[in-house]
Amino acid sequence: MEAGDRVRSGELLTPRARYKIQAVLGRGGMGVVYKAIQETEHIRRTVALKLLASDLSQDQTFRMRFMRESRLAAELNHPNIIPIYDADEAGGQLFLAMPLIEGDDLATVLNREGPLPTERTLNIIRQVGSALDKAHLGGLVHRDVKPGNILVASGEESEGTEHVYLCDFGLTKRITSQSGLTKAGHFLGTLEYVAPEQIEGHSITGAVDIYALGCVMFECLTGRPPFERESDLALLHAHMTADPPSVLDYQPRLPSGIDTVIARAMAKEPGLRQASCRELVQDARAALAAPPPPPPHPDPDPRGGDERKSVRQPTAWRPALIALAVLVAILLLLGIGLLAGNLIDQLLPAAYSPAAVALAAPAILAEIRPPKRGPHAPQARSNWRRRRPRDACHGWAGIGDEPLPDHRLRDDHRRRRNDHRRWH
């Protein structure tokens, strides 16, 4: 009987123990976790039994490393590392047996509660970092640090704060290994928290765990991972090339120094990151202890007679109005005002501020060509050759006081322009 059949029948028999399956606790890319009763000659206890995915179990290189590294991980003695009771195979199926911790993983906590307070974040990161530093000193790299591998149990420390465990140390990697891939090409890690050198298949060191811990800290403070993309390829590209976003974009009342700390932890080059998780936690604690930025000054009461503001207000609209006026004049000169109106309707939503006109104008003009027929066609073509209408857009963006819309407006204009091209 295969291991999978045994599990479905309610038990898993190994050379050292019998596991009676009680319930499924969770499923993931690495395998399935069950609540089970471990029975040996002298022990009967409730455990978490993790059966690894079949493709990993069939990878001979991974199997050999799993057996070796899980035994090393079992020797780690640290209050924030879940100990390994058993690591073996049954019927060709690799498995881990660990204590069953009552509590939620950090991913569940974040989904339920959103961004965490700074002290709670520091408490979680401190405990996870302590576990990682212990492993690194023992020559092990976790390489899959993520909220789903961090278990939170309340009220177990002497001061009554949350106690945190880092799990899945049986799937760690020796520092002397050469890459983040198994022989069969399986990528081990989670894309939202993976370091650039893991993606590129370079040598793996403890720096990959520091990178991932920086990602987890960002998510604890903001409620979302640092990079979110629509495809796995785009997500990997972001880890390799993009700067991490600012925490203050989501939590503007936090001290700005935390951005510097996380940016260093997530540096593309491993040597530029903090030397240890302890250093990362110390830097984060110092940054978060700084005073928050002052609140923004309230705008003067529009009824309060601030004459300077009332005089300057029209200038914020001036570049957009100038842009629109010049644009319409050019299009009318070319004898294609009707087409211009249709394009403006498509490319410039009325809900946008007039500053969007200056941004949308080049996109509109890029679609315009002089008419080939009609009484005004010769003059329009002559005007087009002498001065292409898009040239009139140069300089508009720098006039006046109102800043251009952000990248989301640019993306929206680009999308609308592409939609028009497909229609046209």
Q: Please answer whether residues 327 and 364 qualify as being in contact, where contact means their C-beta atoms are separated by less than 8 angstroms.
A: yes
Q: Find, among 32, 20, 76, the residue nearest to 56 by Cα.
A: 32
261 vs 84, residue with greater confidence: 261
Residue 421 has pLDDT above 50, yes or no: no
d(CA 158, CA 161): 8
Task: Outline where DSSP puts E strands in 226-295.
Answer: none
Binning pLDDT at 50, 70 and 90, where does residue 91 land?
Answer: confident
Average pLDDT over residues 364-387: 60
d(CA 104, CA 154): 9
Instruction: Find tokens 């300089």 and name the residue.
Output: 395
pLDDT of the residue at 105:
92
pLDDT of the residue at 56:
81
CA-CA-CA-CA torsion sign (387, 388, 391, 396)? positive
Residue 177 has pLDDT above 70, yes or no: no
pLDDT of the residue at 322:
52
Joined together, the tokens standing for residue 70 give 């899980």
d(CA 68, CA 192): 28
Centroid of chain to Cα 226: 3
325 vs 225, residue with greater confidence: 225
Binning pLDDT at 50, 70 and 90, where does residue 374 land?
Answer: low
Residue 274 has pLDDT above 90, yes or no: yes
DSSP string over 374-424: STTHHHHHHHHHHS-GGGGGTTGGGSSSPPPP-HHHHHHHHHHHHHHHHH-
Residue 352 has pLDDT above 50, yes or no: no
127-148 pLDDT per residue, tens: 999 999 999 998 889 989 999 9
CA distances to 81, 137, 405 from 149, rounded to whole Å, are 11, 20, 40
Max CA distance (Å), the chain:
101
Joined together, the tokens standing for residue 76 give 């780690």
47-61, 280-294, 396-410: least confident range: 396-410
Binning pLDDT at 50, 70 and 90, where does residue 179 land?
Answer: very low
Average pLDDT over residues 156-164: 67
Joined together, the tokens standing for residue 374 give 């009609």
274-283, 288-297, 322-331: least confident range: 322-331
Residue 171 has pLDDT above 50, yes or no: yes
pLDDT of the residue at 257:
97
Highest-confidence segment of 12-26, 93-107, 374-388, 398-412: 93-107
pLDDT of the residue at 339:
54
Rg (CA), the chain: 30
Highest-confidence segment of 67-71, 335-339, 367-371, 391-395: 67-71
Residue 185 has pLDDT above 50, yes or no: no
d(CA 217, CA 284): 9
pLDDT of the residue at 294:
77
Residue 337 has pLDDT above 70, yes or no: no
13 vs 331, residue with greater confidence: 13
Joined together, the tokens standing for residue 203 give 């040598």
Residue 393 has pLDDT above 80, yes or no: no
pLDDT of the residue at 351:
45
Binning pLDDT at 50, 70 and 90, where does residue 227 land?
Answer: very high
pLDDT of the residue at 173:
55
Average pLDDT over residues 300-325: 48
19 vs 276, residue with greater confidence: 276
Binning pLDDT at 50, 70 and 90, where does residue 399 land?
Answer: very low
pLDDT of the residue at 89:
84
CA-CA-CA-CA torsion sign (136, 140, 144, 149)? negative
Three-state secondary structure call for residue 18: strand
Supply the pTM of this predicted model: 0.64
**Residue 243 appears among annotated catalytic residues:** no
Binning pLDDT at 50, 70 and 90, where does residue 208 land?
Answer: very high
326 vs 86, residue with greater confidence: 86
CA distances to 307, 314, 320, 353 from 310, rounded to whole Å, are 5, 8, 18, 18
pLDDT of the residue at 225:
97
Q: Find, among 40, 2, 46, 42, the residue nearest to 21 by Cα.
A: 46
72-81, 173-182, 376-385: least confident range: 173-182
d(CA 106, CA 70): 23
Average pLDDT, rounded, for the chain: 76
**Which residue among 59, 133, 144, 259 is the active-site one?**
144
Residue 314 has pLDDT above 50, yes or no: no
Residue 383 has pLDDT above 70, yes or no: no
Counting beta carbons within 10 angstroms of the beta carbon of residue 250, is it exposed (0 to 12), middle (13 to 18) or buried (19 or more)?
middle
Which amino acid belongs to residue 218? F
Counting beta carbons within 10 angstroms of the beta carbon of residue 200, is it exposed (0 to 12), middle (13 to 18) or buried (19 or more)?
exposed
CA distances to 217, 242, 290, 362 from 117, rounded to whole Å, are 11, 27, 15, 45
pLDDT of the residue at 65:
79
Counting beta carbons within 10 angstroms of the beta carbon of residue 233, is it exposed (0 to 12), middle (13 to 18) or buried (19 or more)?
exposed
Give the bridge partners for 93, in sequence order: 90
